[in-house]
Amino acid sequence: MQIDLHHAMTWVVARDAGFSPAQATTIAHAAQYVDDATNYGHIKFHNGAAYERIATAHKMLEYRNLDSLKNMKVWVPFHFLPGNGGLPAGENPAGSFIQKLVCRPHSFVAKDMVAEVLADKDRPHSLHRLGITAHVFIDTWGHRGFAGVDHPVNHVRDIKDHNGQSHETLIAKVTDYFANILQDNIPSLGHGQALSHPDLPHQHWSYQNGLGEAVERNNPVDFLQAANALCKVFQTYLVRPITGLSPGVEREIAQCFSQFVSDNGATRHQQWLDAIAADRFGLGAHQLTYIAKGPGSWKHQALGTTLADGDEDCYQYHPDFLHSDWKHFHDAAKKHRQSIIVDILPRYGICVS
């Protein structure tokens, strides 16, 4: 899924579940920032203090995607949550180990992930962690059938667009880029070979996967299920009746899927923001914004830097840093990764650390 759903739709779902506009804004920002926090390592302050942040994403064509260890530390816990074949802990799907790593919607692993964040509600970064969890949770629908490692299971062939539009193949787009690195072998990482088809809320498509199976995907149906399930997660967090989306909001979300049909995520995102500002969802008009990096971003507010990539040699330390959204996000991201890789996945016989 892309910014239109991870940010704007997540805000709508959080508001419908009962969060205040400010709380929903924090949750939605954290959910989207999972795709934008691409820097990692230590930062230093002039007073001798230091802080280590982690990357929760890499650019899809970045060389680090070819490092299997970084794949497991980034793509597995934050984007392609292993599904264990949809089976509970202690049971194994048929086939090889890769079947345990393939993402499955609303799996037992995903439910355990939700339980961990619900048990962490008393922390300063609780809403930020809930946003991270929301990102990973709804991606189990968008990324179903794919694994966050470079493996033939992710091979995609014979893509067909049932909306009547044409598409480019990944090989045609990036062969030149990888020619000197991979000798024309495009990596089978996540859904890279499927381009953006798994992420587009209006897309109805089919393909043949790496196992030779014919797969049909109806994203509008799948993503509406994801939104409804996410609303129930939010309601559980708030200790409210677990009813899912209200009928009016569910109807409007479904209509947005069918009406906002640009393949450009930024275009669809703006359409969602306009709909929120016009109170289309009946949740109160709100001027929702999102700045990933640069002036006004969480990083800028925390560190005073406008650099999008890289860091200053040293930053001026201010006590408010400890309470910044940027630090809370990275604290939450580290807790999330630890929980997934060290606590949850081993229950399912999955070791990726």
* C-alpha dihedral, 186 to 81 to 35 to 167, nearest 10°: 40
Q: Using alpha carbons only, how large is the chain's radius of gyration in Å?
A: 20
First to last CA, the chain: 26
3-state secondary structure 74-100: HHHHHCCCECHHHCCCCCCCCCCCHHH
Q: Which parts of the chain sit beneath pLDDT 70?
A: 59-71, 164-196, 309-310
Q: Is residue 102 part of a domain?
A: yes
Q: What pLDDT score does 14 carry?
A: 98
- For the chain, percent of residues with pLDDT exceeding 70: 86
68-88 pLDDT, tens digit each: 556 678 999 999 999 999 999
Q: What pLDDT score does 239 carry?
A: 97
Q: What pLDDT score does 250 carry?
A: 98
Q: Is residue 353 part of a domain?
A: no
Q: What pLDDT score does 46 carry?
A: 94
Q: What pLDDT score does 211 carry?
A: 83
Question: Cα angle vertex 288, ends 282, 291, to 5°?
Answer: 160
Q: Is residue 59 part of a domain?
A: yes
Q: What pLDDT score does 162 carry?
A: 74
Q: What pLDDT score does 164 carry?
A: 60
Q: What pLDDT score does 175 carry?
A: 41
CB distance 83 to 145 below 8 Å: no
Is the pTM for the entire model greater than 0.95? Answer: no
- For the chain, percent of residues with pLDDT exceeding 90: 71
Q: What pLDDT score does 156 carry?
A: 84
Number of domain units in the chain: 1
Q: Is residue 119 part of a domain?
A: yes
Q: What pLDDT score does 195 carry?
A: 58
Backbone dihedral region for residue 244 (phi beyond 0: left; psi -120 to 50: alpha; all else: beta):
left
Q: Is residue 123 part of a domain?
A: yes
The dihedral of CA 3, 192, 180, 68: what is its sign?
Answer: positive
Question: What is the span of the domain harbouring residue 107?
Answer: 3-348
Q: Is residue 332 part of a domain?
A: yes
Which positions ≥6 away from 159 have C-beta within 8 Å?
Answer: 167, 169, 194, 195, 197, 205, 206, 207
